[in-house]
Structure formats: structure tokens, C-alpha cells
Structure 1
Amino acid sequence: MAVERLLFSCAGIKEGGEFPIIYTGRGENRSPEFHLKNLDPQAETLALTLEDLDHPLKKEFTHWLIWNIPARAFIPSGIPKGKTVAELGHAKQGLAYGWHCYAGPKPPFGQTHRYRFTLYSLNRSLDLSPYTRKSVFLKAAAPYILQKGELTASFGSKRESEKQWVPSFSG
């Protein structure tokens, strides 16, 4: 089965741009919201990964893995920590830098890394353990992936003395 391109946007993050601090480990470490543009009508679930493309020890170091999100055109920000996310139709979060949660960019101070979100639409849900890692997820998901889209942006951590101001959000 040919995998079609999934088009999506991510609040405050443009392809090739920079992560707003709120979505990083130096800010609120809050997952951003996603807007899907051409979701296949046969899609039943969505999955997301976030990877550090410039990690010095492991290429494509996984920061976040979530799957079994009910197929929809919008994924809200601030997905809570947990093996199962009731607010998202009991989606599952696996093992990554964020154990069962979103873990945003946080390169060492003085370095800039590139990070990639990959969004998948699948024609079924997957019965996988919350201790699943990305490689196992991808192998299990491969026959059911209808669409795949990517968005890459960077984040640079300044020295301790140059930390950026982080606004607080209520509600």
C-alpha cells in the first residue's frame, strides 16, 4: 500500500523555523497543537513522534511517541503525561526521552538541534504495550499507515545566564 503525504501545521512552529520556548524543556514543556489538512477518510487513528535529529549519541533520538489518537483534524496542545490519555480516546504514550509523555527540545546549553515531528494516519488502532519504543511501533504500524507527514524545526539553548523569559499561561 502506498503511503500518501499527510499535510499538517503545528501552532507556532513553521517548517525550518524555530520552536517557541513554551514547547521546549527550557519552557513549559507543553506539546503543541496540530491541525491536519488532508486526513484520509479511512483513517481510524493518528500517531506522533518527536525526534532530535542532531543528538550526539543516537541519530533520530526519540523524544515522544503517542499512538491510537482517534482520527481527527485537530490534536490539542498540552497532552498530559500517562501511559493512557483518556482525553484523547485512550491514546497510548510509549517509551522515549519522555517516558509516557511529551518531552520537548532541550539541547545542551550553547547548542542548537533540529527536531522533527512525524504524524501518521493509520486505518486501525494498535494493541501495543505502553513500554513500546519507536522501532517496535513503526514495525507494528507499517502495514496500516495510510499517510505520513513531517515538520522539522530547531531550538537552541542559551547559556544559563541568558535564559529566555517564559510567559505563563492560564486556562
Structure 2
Amino acid sequence: MLQMRFFLSVLSLLLLFVLAHAQATPAAAIDTKFYYRLQSGTTDSEDHGFLTVLEGWSRPALAQRLESRGQLWKFVEDAGDVYRLANGLERNNMEHVLDFHNDNKLMLRFSSQQYWMTQTFKVKHFGGSVIGLTDRNSYRFLEATEDLDPEKRLVMNPAADVRGQMWVLEKTDIPTGVAVKEEFTLSSPAFQNGTRIPVEHTGVGANTSPPLAWKGAPAGTKSFMIICTDPDAPSPANPDPNPFVHWIILNIPATTNNLLAGVPALEQLSNPLGAVQGPNGFDKLGYSGPLPPAGSGQHRYIFTIFAMDRVHVLDPNLSSEEFLKVLDSSVLAKAELMGTYEIPALLIHASRPVWQRGLPIAGVPELTASCAVSAALNCSNLELIVGRRTAQYTQ
């Protein structure tokens, strides 16, 4: 018993020692000559919770780590520990700063004297690289809440002992006095990177190609090529060494920066003029969307855009290996966008007369059904049909 008390007392002293040294960790000085990333304390993930402004947005948000100018912040010193936070994503060649003018909600506004008081933040040092950002009078803290409403996720709240009011500073090696180089990026209005591809762009739905947009192509780009592949075919647990090809389109003009949804299944395209499509893994021309085997798990679909230094002449005398070498030698840069799709082992066709719309089926929110149980209907053994696939449902 005495030994136990001794160890408990020593343990308590050790904890106090650790806490004392943690609190004594010198605060990291703000270096106004370099950009920072700010990560919220609301998440334990090293890849999420970064203060972000997306292209075209007027409100900041939290996002996973991105190679984006919208995730870079410059501390512009006002007085003492008071700063303006300028975002690296300039608009119309004007610098925009973080602002909480509207009902304590965070906005991005052009830096002007009109909103001067609401565009300044006082830095509270918690030790090391952990800080808090308050209003000028330290009444309210910039807090990342866990609210699902994007407009309520970032707010100015009274001081409280919550992780959401703590921010980790991550200093980058990007000088604030140098224009931030725009990265070559690919995006889609239909889905965000790493999220589920809408059903209309899959083989289960209308099978139309998704809308795509890109920016930041390097100088010297003469054309673009886009390829969509499934590296998880036939299943994530047993992938083929050669990814399954869902789409290939090349010779997209260098003046083009987007593709509308539903590119027609033609070899020669008039929009964009000059672009050429090849056959996919289904031996069809153009785009064929995700249609993984039911029950094979979640598949990744990688849309890759290549900036090329030439417009390619399709020489029928070239072998596929020779043509691939030509393509590889002309790539200036590439960008990727990844979407996912999964067909569960159990899928119910919501349009069949014995089913009515009800609760969503796991993993397939757009296909919803509930069994219309009645004395005249036995739901214990029904044939379920999705596309060309059939399965048996056992209640």
C-alpha cells in the first residue's frame, strides 16, 4: 500500500513537471515575412481542419491540407500583437483579409479602412506554435465549431476553454513579398476531391461525363489530355496492375479551361474544337462512368489532366507503346482529381412497383426504398435489380 502511494505521489509530481515545462515552452514569434497555415484544434487529424478560402468563395472554411493559395495566410502587423490576416488568394490583384464584421461570422473582404476594427486580430500565445485569435479587446475568440452549417462553423465567440479556439501555426517557406505561384489544379463543380461521384455520372445513372475545370497550366502548354482510370478494378483487395480506363480525351486546346458535363461519345469533338476521344476499357468511345462489381468495395476514380507541349498527330503507323512514349515526353505538368463510387452487395431498385421510397440504403443515398409489407406481399425473398445486376434480398 505504501509503495502504491509513493508511486502515485511521484506520478503526480511528474505530471506537474511535464505541465510546467509545457506551459513554459517559449511562444513562436510571428514572422511577417512568410506565409502560414492555421490548423484548428477541433480535429485530431494531421490532414484536416486548415483555415481555407476556396476559389470564388467569400467565406473561409475548414478543409484538409491543400496545395492552394487559399490556405496561406500572411500576418500584417498593426501594433504589438495585433495583426490583419491577409489571404494568399488575391482577387483582381487586390489583397483580401479576414473580417468578422457581419454578426460575428467570418468573411473575406478587401482591405479597407471601412472595416478596420473588424479586420484586426490580437494574437494570444498558448506556448509553442499554439495561438488564439481574438478581437482587439480580447472579448471574443475566433472559434472553429463542430456545426455542420458552413456559415456557423467559423465564428467569433466569447472566450471558453475549448479546443476550437486554439490554432496551430505552421510556418511555410513561401515569402510574403513574392507572388505565390499558382498550382496546376483540376476540380469539378459536381464533386470535391475525395468525395462520392454523383450517380448521374456513373453507369448506374445517366452515365454522363462530369463537368471539369482547371487552372494554373504552365507556360508553353499547347494542349491538354484527360484520362480517367479506376486503380481498384476489379476490386480494391485484388487490383489489376493496369488501371481500368474509363475515359481518354486529348488535344484539348490550350485556350480551354473547362469541360461541360455530358461530352458526347464522338471521336472528333466540335466543343472543344479539335479534341479527340479514344475507346475506353468497355470498348466504347468516350466516357463510361463508374460501374464497379457489386460488393467489391469502394473504388477510386482518378481524373488526371496533363498539360502537353504540343498538339498530337495521331499516326496510325505508331504502335501503342511508341505513342505512349511520345505522350510521356511531351508532358509539362499534371493535376489529379479523385472521386469514389461503390455498389453495395445489396441494391434495391427504387422504381420497382413492390418498393416505395423510404429510408436510404447504406452507401447509396440516391437509391432509396422500403418494403411495402402487406398481407398480400411477402418481402422475405425478392429479386433486386440494378442495371444488369441481380441479387436476392432476404429480410
TM-score by length of 2: 0.38
The answer as to 2:284 corresponding to 1:106 is: no
Map residues 120-139 of structure 1 onto 2, 5 A cutoff. 120-128=306-314, 138-139=324-325
Which deviates further from its counterpart, 55-64 or 112-121? Answer: 55-64
**Cα distance 1:157–1:69, how it changes in 2: closer, same or farther (>3 A)?**
same
1:69 to 249, 252, 267: 252
Structure 1: 4+ residue segments shifted above 3 A: 132-138, 162-165
CA shift digits 1:102-147 (9 cap, x unpaired)? 01101012332111111111121111269x9986654221221111
The one-letter amino acid of 1:151's match is: L
Distance in 2 (CA, whole Å) between partners of 1:61 and 1:133 is: 20
SS of 2:196's equivalent in the other structure is coil
CA shift digits 1:14-50 (9 cap, x unpaired)? 2211111111111111111111121224212111111
Distance in 2 (CA, whole Å) between partners of 1:134 and 1:23 is: 28
Distance in 2 (CA, whole Å) between partners of 1:137 and 1:121 is: 16
The equivalent of 2:225 in structure 1 is 47
1:9 to 187, 194, 198: 187
Q: Which runs of 5+ in 2 are unaligned?
A: 1-181, 351-365, 368-395
**Cα distance 1:13–1:100, how it changes in 2: closer, same or farther (>3 A)?**
same
Distance in 2 (CA, whole Å) between partners of 1:113 and 1:134 is: 27
Distance in 2 (CA, whole Å) between partners of 1:84 and 1:5 is: 30
Distance in 2 (CA, whole Å) between partners of 1:80 and 1:133 is: 27
Distance in 2 (CA, whole Å) between partners of 1:36 and 1:156 is: 26
CA contact (8 A) 1:65 1:134 kept: no
CA shift digits 1:29-73 (9 cap, x unpaired)? 111111112122421211111101110263311111110011222
Map residues 130-169 of structure 1 onto 2, 5 A cutoff. 138-158=324-344, 159-162=346-349, 164-165=366-367
SS of 1:161's equivalent in the other structure is coil
Distance in 2 (CA, whole Å) between partners of 1:104 and 1:134 is: 24
Distance in 1 (CA, whole Å) between partners of 2:338 and 2:321 is: 20
The equivalent of 1:118 in structure 2 is 304
The alignment of Structure 1 onto Structure 2 pairs a total of residues equal to 162
Structure with greater proportional strand content:
2
Distance in 2 (CA, whole Å) between partners of 1:86 and 1:110 is: 39
The one-letter amino acid of 1:63's match is: H
Q: CA deviation at 1:160?
A: 3.9
Q: Which runs of 5+ in 1 are unaligned?
A: 166-171
CA contact (8 A) 1:94 1:133 kept: no
Map residues 91-102 of structure 1 onto 2, 5 A cutoff. 91-98=275-282, 99-102=284-287
Distance in 1 (CA, whole Å) between partners of 2:194 and 2:292 is: 17
For the pair shown, the structure with the greater C-alpha radius of gyration is 2
Distance in 1 (CA, whole Å) between partners of 2:211 and 2:319 is: 23
**Cα distance 1:133–1:87, how it changes in 2: closer, same or farther (>3 A)?**
farther
Distance in 2 (CA, whole Å) between partners of 1:35 and 1:55 is: 26
CA contact (8 A) 1:22 1:28 kept: yes
